Each structure stands twice: as structure tokens, then as C-alpha cells.
């Protein structure tokens, strides 16, 4: 029965992404947004959402099937990763050329990829992409970019989705050039008794696989990294939202356990420090023991467990974050922006937080979080911070829009905020509303 329930949960989680054409489509409103068709997404005053690419009620074509992360190459050119499908090597990297009032041109640059997600410019000027089991690089300006694809980091765990969870690869470059790479947890709570070590710990996180961790691959210079890794931090269930602040602070936003409760557990925002253990699978929230690990109650309350710097709303599913340094929205200067991909009432938003000098959100005395149809709810626990939501009107509205499923975030050279929505198949530009 337990395995059947797990299979049902996996199917329900995948269904929206696996059947995108069955979902509600976005309507396009009459007045453009910064030269792009205006989407019916409620935003902060002075901001609007423009459709760059994707299906609408008027045109259901879907050039990019499951868009994830974005990288701007120049004022009119972007690269976008596309999962393609959750099974098989059907992923791609697309080049998108556009401008206000201009036709959008889309060209497939790489194909045959296995769940490509993260994308970034490397210290050598080449473009790096994270597949499920490797990080590759290529030159997007080459005549044939695919011919020059090179594996930079190989041998990452091959966490196939239907056997395990969290197969996607996220990476960031540290200030010294080292590569910091996530390895997701192979299960939700490491509940299988067979997955325990002789000492009673979770073999998935404490064993040789080094799952639920952040790995460091040391930079050797001249575009080379060590093939061997060190574990920087453990106890991190899924680190797709990973960012490095100019101060050097590394932040990780945790996608926490799949409890049935709508309001539990809270997601986490962790300040990553070498050698720390952040709790998975033993702990949740600030210091509570997970249901299948009651014997770890005292450990979760001890200094051996590094508690979250800030709690985030339950089931928000943060998938990307960055600090806004653009010129278009002065009120957002320096704030942390975060995409909430979750399909429950808290997800479907782009949120922002005021931060301290390290780039860490500042906790509130009475923190609250938004939920569609319910206004703001009190956390009831600490530490947490009340966000300013950039997209307060992105809930389901039949005939106008599906609930948002934002993934990738990027700030363009002009200060506009670009985002992808993988379930809806959209690339969106949030701009100043003139």
C-alpha cells in the first residue's frame, strides 16, 4: 500500500508537467507591456507581465515544451534550457532572439540532452549547462555549438525520476572559480528501513553516494576542475534554488518534505557553511524531528543540526533566486527575488525579501505568508520573513490563466525581470508599466 501511494503521489506531481496541453492557457490583454503582449497576471503597481513566447488562448503553439532556466547573451538574445520531457534524452537548449514589438525567433542550439536545467556563463566565457548526470559546456557563438560540447563534470548520480526523486542538476560558480553542485535526495524521508546504516542513520545522506548534499569541485585554472569532489554541506533534500551573494554568502532554498498537510512543513532558506549538516532526513522546520525519525528529536535540537536562517512558506517549492540589481525597479534594489513553483495555494508566485548586508532575508516580529483565496497567514513560528509578492494575481482564473509555475529568474541588462513557467510553457518579461 505504501509503494502504491508513493506511485500515485509521483503521478500527481508529474501530471501537470507531463500533460501541458490539457492545462488552462493564458489570455492576452489589449494593451501591450513594454512592447510585448500583456498577460493577465496581477503584478505590483507599476509592473506588468509581457508574453515573450508560449501558448495562449489565441495561439496554442508551444515552441519550448518545458522551459526552465535563462541566460542573456546580449540585448536581444537569450539561451533557455528545456527539459523536453521527464523521461529520456529529449531536452534542449534554445536560442531566443527578440525585442519590443519584434518577431520572436527560436533556434535549437543543443538537443538530445537529459533533463537540462541550470545554465550559466563560466569564468572562461563559455556557457555551462547542468544535465541530470553531468555539467557540460559549449560555445554558443560557434557555427555548430553541438559539435563542441564538452563534459566538465561527469559521474553525477543518475537519479532517475520514477525510481528516485530530485534528478536535476543545479550548480553555481563560487568567487574563487570552484563549482558548487547539488545532489538531490533519492527519496522523500529516507523511510525505508533498508536505507539505514548499521548505526541507524540514513545511508542515502551519510553513505558513499553523498546524496542530499552540496559538492565542491575545485577550480584548477584554465577552464579545468578537479574530477574529484568534496562534500561542502549535508542534509539538503533538494538545492535547485542556489545563489552566491556579492558578499560571498551562499544561500540555498530547500524544497522540504512532501507531507500531506497543506500547511506543513515549511520550506527552508539556509546559509551554507562548510561542514554543516542541515537536517535531511531527520529534521524539519526549525528543530522538529521528521515523523519517521522520532529518535532524532534531541539531535534536531542540538548544535549538530544547523537550523534554517529563515523559514519559507509551506510547499512553496522555491526553484530559483537572485538579488535584484537592475535599474528598472529602484524599489527592488538589493532585494532577494525567488520563484515559488509549488502547485498548492502558496505556490505560483515571484516573491521578494528585504535582506541584510550578507544578502539574507531579515526576519519579522510577526511574519506572514500569502495563500491564494486566504490572504496572508501567520507563520506561527520563527524565524521567518514576510515577503513582498511581485505577482499577487497569478492564481488560477478560468478563461484568463492557469496558476503560475515559475521556475527560472534572470534580470536583463535593461532591468526587466525575465521568468519561465514550465507547466504553461511560457517565457515572460516583467517590466515597468508605462
Three-class SS of 312-362: EEECCCEEEEEECCCCCCHHHCCCEEEEECCCCCCCCEEEEECECCCCCEC
For residue 384, give Cα distances in angstroms to 241, 324, 376, 407.
18, 20, 14, 22
Distance, in Å, from the CA atom of 132 to the CA atom of 117, rounded to the nearest integer, reads 8
Closest CA to 346 of 321, 295, 311: 311
pLDDT at residue 19 greater than cutoff 90:
no
Least confident of 39-48, 169-178, 190-199: 190-199
Distance, in Å, from the CA atom of 27 to the CA atom of 274, rounded to the nearest integer, reads 47
Residue 58 phi/psi, 5-degree rounding, is -85, -30
Query: Is the peptide bond preceding residue 383 cis, with omega within 30 degrees of 0?
Result: yes
Confidence of residue 74 (pLDDT cuts 50, 70, 90): very high
Beta bridge partners of 270: 252
Q: Determine which helix (DSSP H) or strand (DSSP E) holds 4, and give its type and residue range.
A: helix 2-18
pLDDT at residue 168 greater than cutoff 60:
yes
Domain definitions of the chain by residue range: 1-61+329-402+430-434
Distance, in Å, from the CA atom of 104 to the CA atom of 77, rounded to the nearest integer, reads 10
Query: Which pLDDT score, from 0 to 100, does residue 6 have?
Result: 40
Confidence of residue 160 (pLDDT cuts 50, 70, 90): low
Assigned C-alpha cell, 331: 524599489
Dump pLDDT digits (tens) for 251-299.
999 999 999 999 999 999 999 999 999 999 999 999 999 999 999 999 9
The 8-class DSSP code of residue 207 comes to S
Dump pLDDT digits (tens) for 92-140.
999 999 987 788 999 999 999 999 999 999 999 999 999 999 999 999 9
Q: Determine which helix (DSSP H) or strand (DSSP E) holds 268, and give its type and residue range.
A: strand 266-271
B/e letters for 387-396, b = 16+ CB within 10 Å, e = fewer, are: bebbbbbbbe
Q: What is the largest CA-CA distance in the chain?
A: 65
Query: Which pLDDT score, from 0 to 100, does residue 163 have?
Result: 58
Residue 250 near residue 233, CB atoms below 8 Å: no
* pTM of the predicted structure, to 2 decimals: 0.93
Query: Which pLDDT score, from 0 to 100, does residue 29 have?
Result: 86
**DSSP helix/strand/coil, 168:** coil
Amino acid at each position: 500500500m505504501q509503494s502504491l501511494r508513493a506511485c500515485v503521489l509521483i503521478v500527481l506531481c508529474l501530471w501537470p508537467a507531463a500533460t501541458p496541453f490539457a492545462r488552462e492557457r493564458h489570455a492576452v490583454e489589449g494593451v501591450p507591456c513594454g512592447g510585448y503582449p500583456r498577460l493577465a497576471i496581477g503584478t505590483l503597481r507599476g509592473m506588468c507581465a509581457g508574453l515573450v513566447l508560449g501558448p495562449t488562448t489565441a495561439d496554442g503553439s508551444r515552441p519550448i515544451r518545458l522551459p526552465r532556466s535563462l541566460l542573456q547573451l546580449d540585448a536581444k538574445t537569450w539561451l533557455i534550457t528545456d527539459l523536453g520531457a521527464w523521461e529520456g534524452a529529449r531536452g534542449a537548449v534554445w536560442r531566443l532572439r527578440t525585442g519590443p514589438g519584434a518577431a520572436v525567433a527560436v533556434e535549437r542550439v543543443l538537443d538530445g540532452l537529459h533533463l537540462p536545467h541550470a545554465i550559466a556563463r563560466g569564468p572562461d566565457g563559455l556557457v555551462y549547462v547542468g544535465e541530470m548526470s553531468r555539467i557540460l559546456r559549449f560555445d554558443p557563438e560557434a557555427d555548430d555549438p553541438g559539435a563542441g560540447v564538452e563534459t566538465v563534470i561527469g559521474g553525477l548520480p543518475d537519479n532517475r525520476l520514477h525510481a528516485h526523486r530530485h534528478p536535476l542538476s543545479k550548480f553555481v560558480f563560487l568567487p574563487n572559480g570552484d563549482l558548487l553542485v547539488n545532489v538531490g535526495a533519492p527519496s522523500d524521508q529516507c523511510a525505508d528501513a533498508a536505507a539505514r546504516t548499521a548505526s541507524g542513520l540514513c545511508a542515502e545522506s551519510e553513505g558513499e553516494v553523498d546524496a542530499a548534499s552540496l559538492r565542491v569541485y575545485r577550480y584548477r585554472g584554465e577552464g579545468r576542475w578537479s574530477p574529484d569532489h568534496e562534500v561542502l554541506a549535508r542534509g539538503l533534500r533538494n538545492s535547485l534554488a542556489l545563489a552566491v551573494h556579492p558578499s560571498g554568502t551562499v544561500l540555498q532554498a530547500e524544497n522540504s518534505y512532501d507531507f500531506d498537510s497543506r500547511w506543513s512543513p515549511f520550506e527552508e532558506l539556509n546559509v551554507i557553511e562548510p561542514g554543516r549538516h542541515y537536517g535531511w532526513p531527520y529534521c524539519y522546520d526549525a528543530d522538529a524531528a521528521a515523523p519517521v525519525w522520532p529518535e532524532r528529536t534531541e539531535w534536531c535540537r542540538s548544535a549538530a543540526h544547523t537550523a534554517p536562517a529563515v523559514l519559507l512558506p509551506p510547499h512553496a517549492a522555491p526553484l530559483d533566486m537572485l538579488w535584484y540589481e537592475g535599474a528598472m525597479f529602484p524599489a527592488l534594489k538589493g532585494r532577494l527575488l525567488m520563484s515559488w513553483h509549488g502547485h498548492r495555494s502558496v505556490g505560483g508566485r515571484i516573491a521578494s525579501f528585504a535582506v541584510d548586508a550578507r544578502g539574507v532575508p531579515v526576519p519579522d516580529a510577526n511574519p506572514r505568508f500569502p495563500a491564494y483565496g486566504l490572504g496572508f497567514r501567520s507563520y506561527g513560528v520563527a524565524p521567518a520573513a514576510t515577503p513582498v509578492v511581485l505577482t499577487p494575481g497569478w492564481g488560477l482564473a478560468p478563461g484568463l490563466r492557469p496558476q503560475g509555475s515559475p521556475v527560472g529568474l534572470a534580470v536583463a541588462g535593461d532591468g526587466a525581470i525575465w521568468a519561465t513557467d514550465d507547466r504553461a510553457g511560457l517565457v515572460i518579461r516583467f517590466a515597468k508599466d508605462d
